Amino acid sequence: MNLENISCQKSAGGWHKRYRHRSTVLGCDMVFAVYLPPQAEQGGKLPVLYWLSGLTCTDENFMQKAGAHKLAAELGMIIVAPDTSPRGADVPDDPDKAWDFGQGAGFYLNATQEPWARHYRMYDYVVQELPALIEANFPVSDKRGISGHSMGGHGALVCALRNPGRYQSLSAFAPISNPSNCPWGEKAFSRYLGDERSRWREWDACALLAEATEKLPILVDQGDRDDFLENQLKPDALKAAAQAAGHQLTLRLQPGYDHSYYFIASFIDDHLRHHAKALLS
């Protein structure tokens, strides 16, 4: 699979690079970003953290705004940030151009309904196709962590909970914790998956926690001034599901913080260290 390097910047002693490639799974060209710490040029393989961004975001938001490169360089951790959905003239979009559905809002699932099923398979892309590409072209080990924000936090939880053994660490910022029961999730799931709600459970972290055979410790940060806290994100539902399943969840409600990347930048070091504890052991 050919990679086209479209940008490259030195950062914290390492390199932030963006690549374009043709995705077989999604049927379109995709862009992803990778941060390679200085240790990547010294031989050997390094652990990798996959970061999934939220609604309307691209690969650029995290790499430019989170301030993660400095500690990742100290830890010797590669970070990979894919886009949030398939894109292109041939990829169907919301006919009303709504920001919370369609291009920019793939929800990290495999759509089953037309016209979305051909392209909207972000779950397969994140879990299988992209890691295979990364492992073939960059010095990464088989130690993988996954994290994300908002819709990407939902994606991180779902990818890890559905794939025991594939990831060694898991965290999220302000995840859409119970998408089957919030407006964003109900809109996306009904269109991507159909109206049968029983099919939604396999893409809902609260439902998956009840059936998880692997109990990775989960770190979640949530701002208490987040405009989406009660209506969309529902961290209390995640907490209740984790408690019922006996799953270790550290849920931190951070006073004064909202849904922005100021919030993420304030606590990203804690999350990198959480992942490093598992990935560098």
Residues 6+ apart with CB under 8 A from 89: none
Q: Grade residue 1 by pLDDT with cuts at 50, 70 and 90.
A: low
Mark whether 150 is an active-site residue.
Answer: yes
Choosing from 247, 259, 271, 275, which is the catalytic residue? 259
CATH code (residue 145): 3.40.50.1820
Report pLDDT for 2. 86
Which tens digits make up the pLDDT trace of 52-70? 999 999 999 999 999 999 9
Q: Grade residue 96 by pLDDT with cuts at 50, 70 and 90.
A: confident
Choosing from 226, 247, 271, 275, which is the catalytic residue? 226
The two structure tokens encoding residue 118:
């051909």
Nearest C-alpha neighbor of 266 from the set 149, 146, 126: 149
Which tens digits make up the pLDDT trace of 188-197? 999 999 999 9
Report pLDDT for 272. 98
Instruction: Give percent above pLDDT 70 in the chain.
Output: 100
Task: Count how many domains the chain has.
Answer: 1
Which tens digits make up the pLDDT trace of 153-201? 999 999 999 999 999 999 999 999 999 999 999 999 999 999 999 999 9
The number of CA neighbours under 13 Å toward the Cβ of 201 is: 11
Average model confidence (pLDDT) for the chain? 97
Maximum CA pair distance of the chain? 52
CA 59 to chain centre: 10
Which tens digits make up the pLDDT trace of 223-261? 999 999 999 999 999 999 999 999 999 999 999 999 999
Rounded distance, CA 176 to CA 127, Å?
19
Instruction: Give percent above pLDDT 90 in the chain.
Output: 98
Mark whether 260 is an active-site residue.
Answer: no
Q: Give me the domain span that covers residue 43.
A: 3-280
Choosing from 11, 150, 169, 177, which is the catalytic residue? 150
Mark whether 247 is an active-site residue.
Answer: no
